[in-house]
Structure 1
Amino acid sequence: MASSKWIRPEVYPLFAAVGTVVGICGMQLVRNICTNPEVRVNKQNRAAGVLENFEEGKRYKENPVRKFVRGKRPEVMPSLNKFFADPK
């Protein structure tokens, strides 16, 4: 009885949105644990103390998404913005 109350077709978009957000959060968590130079999970790396490894930090910061959007205008719909904003 309770499952028919909560699992309706109207609720599927909500499940999809929440599932997407949980997936993004999980991906960011795994990325930080695995590749962040300031996060050290095992005991051997924690014993190293503070490292001055700027190259590794630069590689972490300059991820593929950041490289892709560099130099582009911060617009969601560039063609629509040009249509309404640029003079004829």
Structure 2
Amino acid sequence: MASSSMNRWLRPEVYPLFAAVGVAVGICGFQLVRNLCINPEVRVNKENRAAGVLDNFAEGEKYSEHFLRKYVRNRTPEIMPSINSFFTDPK
């Protein structure tokens, strides 16, 4: 019984599905760990929860303005700029 279910799910056609689900679980896990560890609005310790609402704007700014957001802020929202400019810019 177990070998028939193994043969059903471990076919080469199913590998992309496993990869897509694995990437999605990885992204969700990364975001969960990121929020638990460095988000200023998430408080796991009892002492931090007892503090109530804090006005820690500097820490919130540091969390929201991460490296990737700073990197893409002044860039054009294009995936392939050279191909886009080849087809849209007049010569």
- Give TM-score scaled by structure 1 length: 0.97
Counterpart mapping for 1:35-74 below 5 A = 35-74=38-77
Q: How far has the Cα of 1:67 moved from its partner?
A: 1.1
Counterpart residue number, 1:81:
84
Amino acid at match of 2:68: V
Tell me the C-alpha RMSD between the 2 structures.
0.6
Matched-pair identity in %: 68
Amino acid at match of 1:17: A
Gaps of 5+ in 2: none
**Between Structure 1 and Structure 2, how many residues are aligned?**
88
- Give TM-score scaled by structure 2 length: 0.94
Gaps of 5+ in 1: none
Counterpart residue number, 1:4:
7
